[in-house]
Structure 1
Amino acid sequence: MNEKELLQKAIEAKEKAYVPYSKFPVGAALLTKSGKVFTGCNIECASFGGTNCAERTALFKAISEGEKEIEAIAVVSDNEDYTFPCGICRQVILEFGREIKIILGNKKGQIQVFTIEDLLPKSFSGVDLEKK
C-alpha cells in the first residue's frame, strides 16, 4: 500500500470521529509489516482525560489483534496544515519502533513523511529501562 492509499484510509476513518466538543476530527490509518491496515479516529469524552486520539485508536486496535510490527501511520484532519501526532501518541508509537513512518497529509493533497524518531528525538523508551 502506498502513502496516498494509506492517507485515503485515514480520511475515511476521520469521518467516523466522535468530536462533539472540539469539532476537530482526526483520522489515522496504520500499516503493519504484514500488510494489514488498522484505522482509528479520535473519540472525545466530556471528561477530556478520557479522550483518545486517532493514532492511538488505530495502534491499540492493531496491538489487540496481535500485530506489533508497525510499518507506518498516516494522519489527517480537516486542518489546512498538517496535523502531527500529540506527545502522548508519539511516545506510544515509539514503543513499537523508532523507524515507524509517520505520513501526514493536508487539505491541499500534499504529503510529508517522518520517522517517529524524527518527531521524538532523544526519547525515553524500553531500551532505557534495560540500561539500569
Structure 2
Amino acid sequence: MDDEDLLAAARDALENAYVPYSEYPVGAAVETADGSVYTGCNVENANYSNSLHAEEVAVGRATADGHRELATVVVTSAARDAVTPCGMCRQTLAEFCEDDTPVLCDTGGGFERYTVGELVPDTITPGMLGVEP
C-alpha cells in the first residue's frame, strides 16, 4: 500500500475517535511486513491513564492477528499538525519495528518523515532483557 493510501486509512480511523475530554482525535495506520493494514483511533476514559492511543490500538489489532513486524506507521490528527507518537507509543512501535521503519506524520499537505530509531533512540529491547523475539 502506498503512503497516501495508509494516510487515508489513518484519517478514516480518526473519524471514530472517542475524545470527549481532550477533543483531540488521532488516527493511526500500520502496515505489516506482509502488507496487511490495521488502523486505530484514540479512546479516552475519564480516568485519563486508562485512555488508549491510536498507535497502540492499531498495533494491538495487528498483534492480535498474529503479526509481529511492522513496515510503515502513519499518524494523523484532526489538526493535521504532524503529531508524533508519544513516548509510550514509541516504545510499543520499537517492539515491532526495525530502527529504520518509517513513521509518517500528517501535515495536511504531506508528511513529516521519521524513523522509529530517530523517534526513540536507545530503546529498551527484548535482547536487553535476555529475550529473543
Output the TM-score relative to the length of structure 2: 0.92
Question: How far did 1:81 drift?
Answer: 2.1
**2:119 equivalent in structure 1:** 119
Within a 5 Å distance, the mapping from 1:1-132 to structure 2 comes to 1-97=1-97, 98-107=99-108, 109-130=109-130
Task: Please list every run of at least 4 consecutive aligned residues from structure 1 whose deviation after the TM superposition is greater than 2 angstroms.
Answer: 97-100
Aligned-partner residue type, residue 73 of structure 1: V
Question: How far did 1:80 drift?
Answer: 4.4
Question: How far did 1:100 drift?
Answer: 2.3
Question: What secondary structure, in the 3-state scheme, does the structure 1 residue paired with 2:118 have?
Answer: helix
Question: What secondary structure, in the 3-state scheme, does the structure 2 residue paired with 1:4 have?
Answer: helix
Question: How far did 1:63 drift?
Answer: 0.1
Aligned-partner residue type, residue 13 of structure 1: A
**Identity between Structure 1 and Structure 2 (%):** 37
Question: How far did 1:130 drift?
Answer: 2.4
CA distance in 2, matches of 1:80, 1:3: 15
RMSD over aligned CA atoms reads 1.3
Please list every run of 5 or more consecutive structure 2 residues that lacks an aligned counterpart in the other structure: none
Count of residues in correspondence between the two structures: 130
CA distance in 1, matches of 2:80, 2:39: 21
Output the TM-score relative to the length of structure 1: 0.93
Q: What does the per-residue CA deviation read over 1:37-59, in whole Å, with 9 as the maximum and x for residues that have no partner?
A: 00000000001111000000000
Please list every run of 5 or more consecutive structure 1 residues that lacks an aligned counterpart in the other structure: none
Question: What secondary structure, in the 3-state scheme, does the structure 2 residue paired with 1:95 have?
Answer: helix
